[in-house]
Amino acid sequence: MSKTTKFYIVAADALPEIFIKVAEAKRMMQTGEADTVGAATRLAGISRSAFYKYKDSVQPFNDMKAEHIITFYAMLKDNAGVLSRVLSVFASSGANILTINQSIPTNGCAAVTISAETSEMEESLEQLLSDVSGLDGVVRLEILAG
């Protein structure tokens, strides 16, 4: 008989301190503040056994919602400043650009793919698409994946 895992969203101040310290140790390892589990657990003030006991069960909510990565496809005219204006709209929306790939322009246009993390966006995805599509030099903009 398989056991179904249940998840709960709980305010950090209601959690036992060990869970907060495990999440902090995981963060330190992800950011490079600590390069080993031993170093991270020492800095967080917990034992390695406590870390290993809870590491797979503790996940900060912000990390869970950070999975909002969207890849956009744009066809841009080969004019100075077009890509810069597109990226400015992304930045002002709160989207975090992860990758940009641009082809060599042919027939006066270049294909561009932009992957962005969108969980911190201050406006809707529809508004972002509308704002970018309305820029001079943007021939087409669509969502490829996400």
Side-chain-side CA neighbours of 4 within 13 Å: the count stands at 1
Question: Which stretches does DSSP call E strand in the chain?
Answer: 69-77, 96-102, 109-117, 138-145
Whether residues 89 and 131 share a domain: the answer is yes
Query: Residue 47: its pLDDT value, please?
Result: 96
Whether residues 74 and 57 share a domain: the answer is no
41: pLDDT strictly greater than 80: yes
CATH number at residue 87: 3.30.70.260
Q: How many domains does the chain have?
A: 2
Whether residues 47 and 83 share a domain: the answer is no
**Which pLDDT band holds residue 64 (cuts at 50, 70, 90)?**
very low
Whether residues 74 and 131 share a domain: the answer is yes
Mean pLDDT over 99-124 rounds to 92
Query: Residue 62: its pLDDT value, please?
Result: 52
For 139, the domain range is 69-145
Residue 102 resides in a domain: yes
Q: Which residues pair with 21 in a beta bridge?
A: none
Whether residues 134 and 109 share a domain: the answer is yes
66: pLDDT strictly greater than 50: no
